Amino acid sequence: MAKKHTKPVVIKLKGLKKRYGIGNAEHYALDGVDLVIEKGEFIAIMGPSGCGKTTLLNILGLLDRPTDGDYLLDKKPVEELSAAHHARIRSEQIGFVFQNFNLIPRLTVIENVALPLTYKGMRKMKRLKEASRVLKNFHLQEREYYMPNQLSGGQSQRVAIARALVNNPSIILADEPTGNLDSRASHIVMEELSDLHRRGNTIIMVTHNPKLTTYASRVIHMLDGKIASDTKIMVEVTSTTDKIPLGIKKKVAA
Amino acid sequence: MRLLISDHITNAYESLRSNRLRTFLTGLGITIGVASITTVLALSAGVSSVIHQQITALEGNIAVIRPLSTTSGDLTVQQTFTPSTLTEQDYQALMKNKDIKHIAPMMIVAGIPSKGDTKPAGTSVIASTPSLQDIAKLEVRDGQFLDDVTNQQTVVVGEQLSVDLFGTNQSVGQTLTVKGKRFTVIGVLKRSNDPINFSTVDFDKTAIIHLSAGKELAGKTAPLQQISLQATSAAKLQPALQAVDAELARLHHGDKDYTIISGRDIAASTSRLFQLIQGVSAVIASVSLLVGGIGIMNIMLVNVAERTREIGLRKAVGASNAHIIWQFLIESLIISLAGGIAGYVAGYVLAFIISTFLTFDPAFTWYIAGLAGALSLGVGVVFGIYPAVKASRKDPIESLRQYR
């Protein structure tokens, strides 16, 4: 816990509640969540279906609004802001990774990656340069002008991660990023995420797969809209590459 | 917030390209609508411009006097059968004006020129004076026009009428009958192919008799449908018309049951029938434009439904509602504008094809181009805004959950 004061707080939640339905059908998907997330954390949120993991992630990503409670993103309260303001925050501070990748099928890989920059108002040439630079980090440079349907699942998800990263977000939100992938592709994707984590990015990941928590620096278990347990893994995950034979990442990428 | 117009345009272009057939068919709806409107307007503008040219050719010193009932808006029935308020006395009183070079009365005789059992349809008989030749710029092909020496039994016929009656255009010396009275043909007019003119008479199919003969046929009265006059010069037209107005007011005891039309207004009242036809056909054409618009809305709704996940994703990566509205609105605008431009071109092609069967050419005016552009833009906005707003209102979470 010594680190707590050395790193700035990115997200602070206090008494966050989300209610669905009214009257008899009233149901709290989130029932008073308090959470502080510091810069550079890799958080895995676990829990059974319907425990509110995805709702929490949606609220963190400003896609949904809490019924009650405070949400401070980069020390600024955000729940009262307008929808247009939320859109701007999403375009500048938040990157999403989805279970089903959500690449736009009629855009090329590089255009998909450059998409978030469009809404920042960046010129096309600059957008594509930026996207190309990010893709290079993911060893997908030679796939730039492929269409999404020409990529494997693992490649698609890495493109999606590149897209989440292209606008240099404060937090990356990943909803079951390996849910649609086989174990080998899962490893590669998780490897990329933990690589991002090592480079100082804040990642919040929802997952069902307990194995993936080994990549995380902090594991949160949720139950019935509340945080049941919150464990920080103090031992820094140095490397997990030893699980995969050397060079396989390159091979798959190529 | 930047609207990213150029980004939306490239984006819309690509999404439309990926559905080429659908885009083409949707645009075709607009094309047909705009083409039909353009055709109608181009042809009716052609009619007006023919008349304008005639008036310009007459150096702007022409005016016509008509009974008020014929210009009050309703159509030819009245023009032909309502007893006219203009009389021969009016005409004779005006002849004394020194600023007027030529003045010609025009009386439509309720009769059909015939020879034996031949009674060609669509022909008419008018009674006038020799001055008509100068004002209406009539050219004689054969024989001579009416003059003061010729008597009441003579007639000048249009070339088509001559062919219809006698089977030849060399009919000088032949006789024809109007209301039982025999007339000898003394002249055949040169074909003018000009059924639309300020005299409202197709001279190719008309028999022209002298006013005095017309008076005989009508029972000694001469109700005039029109008095055409030509001033000595364009500058003298206005003073002459003022004098005419004063004189007629005196003769009609201050009752203003006539109207004096000069310049462009002559064309306006002459093309009244065409205006009505134009109006009706423009309304019918607008219906096809409306159908095209509904097609756009339909397809845009399909587009929005198909791309729900894309909308959700775009919102997740930072698109605001306004961005989404613009994205889809620009798509529908591109369809409608492209359809409109194609329709404008197709409309003129069609108008030129039709005009080969008519006696005038379609006219190019900025008004039509502007209207075609404004209509297609308008249709794009009106029928595109609902799908666009619908797209922007989609909940990103729900949208992203949707599977392909």
Range with the lowest mean pLDDT among B189-193, B242-246, B265-269, B297-301?
B265-269
Question: How crowded is residue A198: how many other Cβ atoms within 10 Å of its Cβ?
Answer: 14
Per CB-CB distance under 8 Å, the chain A contacts of B403 are: 100
Is residue A10 within 8 Å of A38, Cβ to Cβ?
Answer: yes
Tell me: pLDDT of B71 over 80: no
A-chain residue closest to B393, CA distance: A83
pLDDT reported for residue A139:
83
Q: Is A125's Cβ below 8 Å from some Cβ in B? A: no
Cβ-nearest to A106 among B1, B15, B316? B15
Q: How many domains does chain A have?
A: 1
Residue A169 in any domain: the answer is: yes
Residue A10 included in any domain: no
Residue B321, domain extent: 5-52+274-401
- Is B208 in the same domain as B89? yes
Is the pLDDT at A243 greater than 80? The verdict is no
Q: What pLDDT sits at residue B69? A: 56
A1 touches chain B (CB under 8 A): no
Residue A15 lies in a domain: no
Q: Is residue A109 predicted with pLDDT exceeding 90?
A: yes
| pLDDT on residue B99 | 80
Q: Are residues B262 and B279 in the same domain?
A: no
Mutate one of B303, B313, B317, B327 to test the A interface: name it (highest A CB count within 10 A): B317
With CA atoms as reference, the chain A residue closest to B322 would be: A84
Determine whether the interchain pair B314/A115 forms a contact, defined as Cβ–Cβ distance below 8 Å: yes
CB B258 within 8 A of CB B68: yes
Specify if A22 maps to a domain.
Answer: no
Mean pLDDT (chain A, rounded): 85
Domain range spanning residue A187?
Answer: 38-62+82-253
Q: Quick one: B106 and B168 in the same domain?
A: yes
A59 contact residues in B (CB cutoff 8 A): none
Place of tokens 């613009």: B326
What's the CA gap between A245 and A251, in Å, rounded? 11
Residues 190-219 of A with CB under 8 A from B: none
pLDDT in tens, B11-40: 888 888 888 899 999 999 999 999 999 988
- In this complex, is the C-beta atom of A231 within 8 Å of any C-beta atom belonging to chain B? no
> How far is A10 from B302, CA to CA, in rounded Å?
41
3-state SS assignment for residue B142:
strand
DSSP codes of every residue in A102-133: ---TTS-HHHHHHHHHHTTT--HHHHHHHHHH
Helix (H, G, I), strand (E, B) or coil at B354: helix
Which residue, B384, B385, B398, is CA-closest to B311?
B398
Residue B75 has pLDDT above 50, yes or no: no
CB contact under 8 A, B18 and A98: no
pLDDT in tens, B294-331: 999 999 999 999 999 999 999 999 899 999 999 999 99
For residue A35 the two structure tokens come to 């959470």
- Cβ neighbors of B200 (< 8 A, separation 6 or more) are B79, B225, B226, B270
Percent of all residues in chain A with a pLDDT value above 70, rounded to a whole number: 89
φ and ψ at residue A20, rounded to 5 degrees? -115, 145
Mean pLDDT of all residues in A232-247: 55
Who has greater pLDDT, B106 or B329?
B329
User: Could you tell me what percent of chain A has a pLDDT over 90?
Assistant: 33
Higher pLDDT, B219 or B179: B179
B288/B385 same-domain check: yes
How many independent structural domains does chain B possess?
2
- B12 plus B86 within the same structural domain: no
Residue contact A96–B320, C-beta within 8 A = no
Question: Looking at the complex, does the CB of residue A98 fall below 8 Å from at least one CB of chain B?
Answer: yes
Say which of A90, A102, A118 has its CB closest to residue B400. A102
Q: What is the mean pLDDT of residues A64-79?
A: 88
- Highest mean pLDDT out of B53-67, B143-157, B186-200: B143-157
- B321 and A83 within 8 Å at the Cβ level: the answer is yes
User: Does any domain span residue A155?
Assistant: yes
A73: in domain? no
- Percentage of chain B beyond pLDDT 90 is 25
Q: Tell me the shortest Cα–Cα distance from A24 to chain B, in angstroms.
A: 24
Instruction: Specify the higher pLDDT residue, A175 or B259.
Output: A175
Partner-chain residue, chosen from A83, A102, A120, that has the shortest CB–CB distance to B318: A120
> CA gyration radius for chain B?
30
Rounded mean pLDDT, A55-81: 89
A17 in any annotated domain: no
Residues in B whose CB is inside 8 Å of some CB of A read 1-2, 4, 7, 10, 14-15, 18, 309-310, 312-323, 396-397, 400, 403
Question: Is residue B88 scored above 90 in pLDDT?
Answer: no
Q: Is A102 on the interface with B (CB under 8 A)?
A: yes
CATH assignment of the domain containing A164: 3.40.50.300
- B169 lies in the same domain as B259: yes
Residue B248: pLDDT above 80? yes
Name the average pLDDT for chain B. Answer: 83
For residues B350-364, average pLDDT? 87
Q: Are residues B244 and B117 in the same domain?
A: yes
In this structure, are B256 and B131 located in the same domain?
A: yes
Regarding whether B306 and B246 lie in a shared domain, the answer is no
Closest alpha carbon to B41 in B349, B398, B304, B282: B282
The answer to whether A88 contacts chain B (CB < 8 Å) is: yes
Which runs of E-coded beta strand occur in A21-138?
27-38, 42-46, 68-73, 76-77, 94-97
What integer is the mean pLDDT of B89-106?
A: 82
Chain A residue whose CA is closest to B313 = A102
Please give the residue that has the higher pLDDT: either B273 or A100. Answer: A100
Assess whether B244 and B377 both reside in one domain.
Answer: no
Quick one: how far is CA B300 from the chain centroid? 36
Task: State the CB neighbour count (10 A cutoff) for residue A238.
Answer: 9
How many residues in chain A?
A: 254
**How does residue A6 score in pLDDT terms, banded at 50, 70 and 90?**
low
Selecting from A87, A102, A107 the residue whose C-beta is nearest the C-beta of B319 gives A87
Q: Hey, is the C-beta of A68 within 8 angstroms of any chain B C-beta?
A: no
Contact A118 B15 (CB under 8 A): no
Q: Please choose, from the candidates B302, B299, B304, B308, the residue with its C-alpha nearest in 3D space to the C-alpha of residue B403.
A: B308
**Among all residues of chain B, which has the CA nearest to that of A89?**
B318
Question: What was the pLDDT predicted at B387?
Answer: 96
For A64, nearest residue in chain B (alpha carbons)? B397
Task: Return d(Cα B267, Cα B270) in angstroms, integer.
Answer: 5
Question: Which of A58, A119, A121 is facing B317, going by the closest CB pair?
Answer: A119
pTM equals 0.71
User: Which value does ipTM take for this structure?
Assistant: 0.85
What are the residues facing A205 on neighbouring strands? A44, A174
At residue A236 the predicted structure's pLDDT band, cuts being 50, 70 and 90, is low
Asked if A119 has any chain B CB less than 8 Å from its own CB, the reply is yes
pLDDT band for B196, please (50, 70, 90 cuts).
low
d(CA B104, CA B127): 10
User: Do B294 and B150 lie in a common domain?
Assistant: no
Last residue of a domain, one of B242, B266, B290: B266
Average pLDDT over residues B172-195: 83
Per-residue pLDDT at B195: 62
**A249 vs B317, more confident:** B317
pLDDT band at A149 (very low <50, low <70, confident <90, very high): very high
Residue among B14, B18, B321 whose CB faces A84 most closely: B321
